[in-house]
Chains A and B, each alone.
Chain A
Amino acid sequence: MQPIPKTSTALSSLLRADLVTQWRNRRSFILLLLVPVIILISWKGIVEKFGGPFALSSCITIGLVAIGLMGYSNSVARDRDKGIFQRLRVAPMPGWCIMVSRLLIQLIMIVLLTTIIFIAGNNIDHITLSPLGYIISFLTAIVGGAVYLGLGQLIVGLIQNPETVNSTSRLTYFLFIMVGMFGELGVLGDQMKEIVLWSPYGTVKRIIAAGMQPGTWNSEMTMALFVTIGYAALFSIVGIKRFKWNNK
């Protein structure tokens, strides 16, 4: 019987290649990071009115939306269109290795984003958190990132054409940010504010903000956490079930 290569070796090779690919596309990642940092800088008034955790959690959430919708979905759609996944799938390794490698890279991006926002928040607005606050914030950012990665997976699961994926991702990103930010501030009315609070934007933002101040965590935040996990699971499951490895 033909010996099969170790899955760990295959996964580490894939991870290395995906890291190199991400590094060589660092310009687009830097652009994704710039938006939340610029918002943080321009929101000095908001920090004074609503507090550091509000501003930081909003910026991190905006960054997570960008990573999931613009970064992940577009790169998956592009690689699928080029036939890169098909070539990997004929190799003697489990299919999940391909996506796990991609997701691990996104996890690194999420941690980098959160770190940069914390550093920017500290340098620009002198926002500091307790050590426990930093730890829980990273964890909640990862859970929140899973929602938007799931949403990105849903988009590439439902849409085959890479140009359509690109335009849908950009539109969804824009809608999430605009409706999320203004809705949460009450600009779009009280009803919309309530809807936004329990939307994927609102629940992610709230758990990240509450994570920054662990003392304020209450039953409503626990409910928000469960809803966030529910969103991540729903988007991911539907996205994975509907996903096709090639466009034909």
Chain B
Amino acid sequence: MDTNNHILQVQGLNIYYGNFQAVRDVSFDVLPGEIFGLLGPNGAGKTSTLSAIEGLLKPQSGSIIVAGNDIHKKPLHAKAAIGVQLQATSFQPELTVIEILQLYAGIYGVARGREKLFYILKNIRLDEAAGKKFGQLSGGQQQRLSLAIAVLHEPRLVLLDEPTSGLDPQSRRQLWERMESMREKGHSVLLTTHSMEEAEAVCDRIAIIDHGRLIAIDVPQSLVDSNKTNPEVIAASRRGKITLEDVFIGLTGKAIRS
């Protein structure tokens, strides 16, 4: 495969917090126009991996190339190609919705005409809330605004850290539709999740990470097919038919993670 086509290349990533190794020799690629899911239990290393890709933390070793730019050697070029929705995204509570949009439009170098910004708000059904402060929005509204800001500058790669966490089913479904719409427009999406339903619903490929290591990468159905005879997966199965969740539990274990 021509690796120059990859929108994201992560190679040999190792991340330590003091003496604790959170990410161990992780390597994967994301293709243009692909929704790639990073699945793992709590503490597996998903957010650490994502933080390194975002340039928020420096790995001990490994390389991260975004749209042909090394995140550490050319951070501004790499970040210009990335749109981000953090797990705990927050904006200045004193600013209104339209002011937050103006701020990030300026930061990302996007045209800031009021008409254009209101058009964006209308598309995400927040035009009537333009004058409200961020803290006054509901959880679903905050997520819609965060996602709108993540794609404001038409990035080639969108990073979503557990984007549907805490959302009701309707909001979650809407978010999935928005991700698919992004893919249709040519954006790539890398999302972290521990929801099997989400992984199966939207992801073109998924990688399972546990204790900092990647233990499987494939399309969801192929992961299921290739693990149908795995004794640990069979043992995890509850209803006879092997599901992605069974594969996940079979590969990562039944123990509850903190």
Per-residue CB proximity of A1-39 to B under 8 Å, as 1/0? 111111001101110110011001100000000000000
A24 touches B94 (CB 8 A): yes
Residues from chain A with a CB closer than 8 A to the CB of B92 are 17, 21, 79, 84
Q: Which residue of B lies closest to A1 (CB)?
A: B77
Q: Which of B79-109 contact A (CB under 8 A)?
A: 79-82, 84, 86, 88-95, 99-100, 102-109
Interface size on A, residues (CB 8 A): 32
Per-residue CB proximity of B55-69 to A under 8 Å, as 1/0? 110000000000111
Given A84-B92, A89-B55, A2 and B99 contact (CB-CB distance below 8 Å)? no
Given A2-B156, A10-B106, A82-B90, A91 and B79 contact (CB-CB distance below 8 Å)? yes
Q: Which of B144-159 contact A (CB under 8 A)?
A: 156
Q: Which residue, A3, A17, A84, A89, has most C-beta atoms of chain B within 10 A? A: A17
Q: Which of A86-119 contact B (CB under 8 A)?
A: 86-94
Interface residues of B (CB under 8 A from A): 54-56, 67-69, 75-82, 84, 86, 88-95, 99-100, 102-109, 156
Residues from chain B with a CB closer than 8 A to the CB of A17 are 92, 95, 99-100, 102-103
Q: How far is the CB of A213 from chain B (nearest CB, A)?
A: 41
Pick 11 A–B contacts, CB within 8 A, sort by A.
A3-B109, A5-B108, A9-B107, A9-B109, A13-B106, A17-B102, A20-B95, A82-B90, A86-B86, A90-B86, A92-B77
A2 touches B80 (CB 8 A): yes
Residues from chain B with a CB closer than 8 A to the CB of A6 are 109
B67 touches A2 (CB 8 A): yes
Q: How far is the CB of A191 from chain B (nearest CB, A)?
A: 44
How many A-B pairs with Cβ below 8 Å? Answer: 97
A189 at interface by CB-CB < 8 Å: no
Residues from chain A with a CB closer than 8 A to the CB of B89 are 83, 87
B90 touches A87 (CB 8 A): yes
In the complex, A219→B75 CA distance in Å?
A: 48
B79 touches A90 (CB 8 A): yes
Q: Which residue of B lies closest to A94 (CB)?
A: B76
Q: Which residue of B lies closest to A6 (CB)?
A: B109
A14 touches B107 (CB 8 A): yes
In the complex, A193→B90 CA distance in Å?
A: 47
B106 touches A9 (CB 8 A): yes
Q: Which residue, B78, B88, B156, has most C-beta atoms of chain A within 10 A? A: B88
